[in-house]
Amino acid sequence: MTRYPKKAKSEIGLSPTELVFRGEKKVDQIQMGVIDFDETSVEEKTIQNVKEIATFAHKKTVTWFNIYGLHDIEILKEIGEEFNFDKLILADVLETQSRPKIEDFNNFVFISLKMIQFSEEKQDITVENLSLLFNDNILFSFQEKKGDVFEPVRNRIRNHKRKLRSSRPDYLAFALIDTVIDHYLYLLGMLGEKIESIDDVLIDHPNTSVIDEIKSYKKKINYIQKGIKPAKEMILALSKLESDFIHKKNKIHFKELVNNINQASDNVDSYRELLSDQLNVYHMMISSRLNDIMKFLTIFSVIFIPLTFIAGIYGTNFDVLPELHFKYGYYIMLGCMAVIAIAMLLYFKRKKWL
């Protein structure tokens, strides 16, 4: 998985309204669905043809039109023409590697942000671009592939939740963004637990595989940060946006989003710092261990080196070497050796090496 977005050489210098799908094709065929609701009724439908939505578009109900898959530019163009999108909107939708941003077009508010999830399957983080586009009647959500992330929101619509059913698309947009941020918090909580569990390994069995692990979490956290940091700017801008499509009574919810994304951002900072502390502690641990190893080697060597030297002396073959002929020479030598060894041990004791 390549972590950071790249630009292909061939895309350099293209017009900003040029429609090129630069992302990965994550789904075979574009799928489209619609949920149309007001306080009294809900209608859900899968759609094959763009024309079908035209029928919803002009009703007084709130229409949520969701599109999975972005590779079929023709269909997107058709949607754009039907609803009179600004030329830049579709280009923005297709630019799946851009930074989260908010754009206030005349007839739509455009929001893009990153959906970051942990894929159990790949055991890795997956990032998907989500574009929302809403006015006072309709909300479009563009996703790269089909997912069940927004199922809870759909259920709230289906289950007659009053607030959601009686609101305009701005509140629906809030609910979707809130869900995305909840995913950030959930993912961070999950990673956080794993990161904290490294602490135990660190003190007890520091080894190079821990570095690897720390590094891999650091990368994950940095990657999430790259999604959250600009999202923070975007959501702050959203909470301050003066648009006809954002009703004053919902301002408080968008302010709530600011609070939530700030919490996510705080958590990212905490984990980054924790990981960096762990790397430091690891370093201290192995430095400390090296000291222990060297102390051990030194004590051992220093005790035996003089003893071996003494034995060496009495192993020489000089004709005249009187000690060799003493009756208790051998025992005296052993005694001296014992004295030296004990003296050394006492010395190390005093130096607090033992």
Please give, one letter per residue, the 3-state secondary structure of 147-175.
Answer: CCCCHHHHHHHHCCCHHHHCCCHHHHHHH
Bridge partners, 134 (sequence order): 109, 139
Number of residues that bind a second copy (CB under 8 A): 121
Region from 3-11, 32-40, 42-50, 237-245 binding a second copy, contact rule CB under 8 A: 3-11
Q: Under the criterion CB under 8 A, does residue 119 sit at the interface with a second copy? A: no
Residue position matching structure tokens 């007659």: 160
Rg (CA), the chain: 35
Task: Please report how close the Cβ of residue 177 comes to a second copy at its closest, in angstroms.
Answer: 11
Q: Under the criterion CB under 8 A, does residue 346 sit at the interface with a second copy? A: no
Query: Which member of 21, 168, 306, 345 binds a second copy (CB under 8 A)?
Result: 306
Q: Under the criterion CB under 8 A, does residue 333 sit at the interface with a second copy? A: yes
Q: Under the criterion CB under 8 A, does residue 327 sit at the interface with a second copy? A: yes
Query: Which member of 41, 121, 309, 350 binds a second copy (CB under 8 A)?
Result: 309
Query: Which member of 84, 146, 240, 302 binds a second copy (CB under 8 A)?
Result: 302
Contacts of 114 (CB under 8 A, 6+ apart): 100, 127, 128, 129, 130, 180, 227, 231
Bridge partners, 44 (sequence order): 35
Q: Under the criterion CB under 8 A, does residue 301 sit at the interface with a second copy? A: yes
Query: Which member of 74, 166, 313, 346 binds a second copy (CB under 8 A)?
Result: 313
Number of C-beta neighbours around residue 92 at 10 A:
23
> Which x/- pattern, by CB under 8 A, does the window 190-219 give for a second copy?
x-xx--x--x---x-x-xx--xx--x--xx
Selection from 270, 259, 167 nearest residue 224 by Cα: 270
Task: Please report how close the Cβ of residue 220 comes to a second copy at its closest, in angstroms.
Answer: 13
Task: Please report how close the Cβ of residue 52 comes to a second copy at its closest, in angstroms.
Answer: 27
Q: Under the criterion CB under 8 A, does residue 324 sit at the interface with a second copy? A: yes
Judged by CB under 8 A, the chain residues 257 through 276 that form the site for a second copy are 259, 262-263, 266-267, 270-271, 273-274
Distances (CA, A) of 252 to 78, 166, 198, 248, 262: 36, 17, 39, 8, 15
User: Would residue 59 be called left, alpha or beta, if left means φ above 0 and alpha means ψ between -120 and 50 degrees?
Assistant: beta
Selection from 114, 113, 63, 110 nearest residue 90 by Cα: 110
Task: Please report how close the Cβ of residue 153 comes to a second copy at its closest, in angstroms.
Answer: 5
Judged by CB under 8 A, the chain residues 44 through 103 that form the site for a second copy are 87-88, 98-99, 101, 103
Query: Which member of 60, 242, 287, 350 binds a second copy (CB under 8 A)?
Result: 287
Secondary-structure percent of the chain, ordered helix, strand, coil, rounded to 5: 55, 15, 30
Selection from 170, 258, 184 nearest residue 221 by Cα: 184
Task: Please report how close the Cβ of residue 29 comes to a second copy at its closest, in angstroms.
Answer: 26
C-beta of 9 vs 48, nearer to a second copy: 9
Question: What does the alpha-carbon distance between residue 63 and residue 32 come to, in Å, rounded to a whole number?
Answer: 13
Question: What does the alpha-carbon distance between residue 114 and residue 97 come to, in Å, rounded to a whole number?
Answer: 9
Judged by CB under 8 A, the chain residues 217 through 236 that form the site for a second copy are 218-219, 222, 226, 229-230
Judged by CB under 8 A, the chain residues 122 through 181 that form the site for a second copy are 149-153, 156, 161, 163-164, 175, 178-179
Query: Which member of 6, 122, 248, 350 binds a second copy (CB under 8 A)?
Result: 6
Query: Which member of 75, 182, 237, 241 binds a second copy (CB under 8 A)?
Result: 182
Task: Please report how close the Cβ of residue 328 comes to a second copy at its closest, in angstroms.
Answer: 7
How is the beta sheet containing 138-143 ordered, strand by strand? 42-47, 31-37, 62-68, 138-143, 124-134, 109-119, 101-104
Region from 22-30, 38-46, 125-133, 305-313 binding a second copy, contact rule CB under 8 A: 305-313
User: Would residue 163 be called left, alpha or beta, if left means φ above 0 and alpha means ψ between -120 and 50 degrees?
Assistant: alpha
User: Would residue 27 be called left, alpha or beta, if left means φ above 0 and alpha means ψ between -120 and 50 degrees?
Assistant: beta
